[in-house]
Amino acid sequence: MAHRDPPGIIAPHIPADAYRRAEATGQPVVIVVHTTDPTGRPLRHYLLPLAIASAAAMGCWGLVAALCALLDAAAHTATVIAQTAGPLGIGGITLKLARSKSG
């Protein structure tokens, strides 16, 4: 089973026999500490893509609203023109474009 130190210990434990052997022979003791990188990405890495996606969504909703307003204005304009023009006749065929308001 691998030896695991609890979190918060700065220097790992050096076994007594390794320390005494190094002390008797004069060999240096090398301590290797493995550092771990923080897991995941910082929150600021997600900010720019989220801002771009939000701006694109707002732009699409604005485009839809503008298109609806344009179609509404075009429908009202066509209705006013049809009421003003009255019936259209071509070669004996008469077409009434809009109903009169009186009935």
How confident is the model over 5-44, as pLDDT tens digits?
556 665 566 777 877 888 889 888 777 767 776 777 888 8
Grouping H, G, I as helix, E, B as strand and the rest as coil, residue 29 is coil
Q: Give the pLDDT mean for 46-51.
A: 92
Query: How many residues would you count in the chain?
Result: 103
For residues 28 and 58, the model is more confident at: 58
Could you tell me the two tokens for 60? 């699409």
Residue 13, CA atoms < 13 Å, CB-side half-sphere: 7
Could you tell me the two tokens for 78? 């066509």
Provide the whole-model pTM.
0.45
Under 8 Å between Cβ of 29 and 18: yes
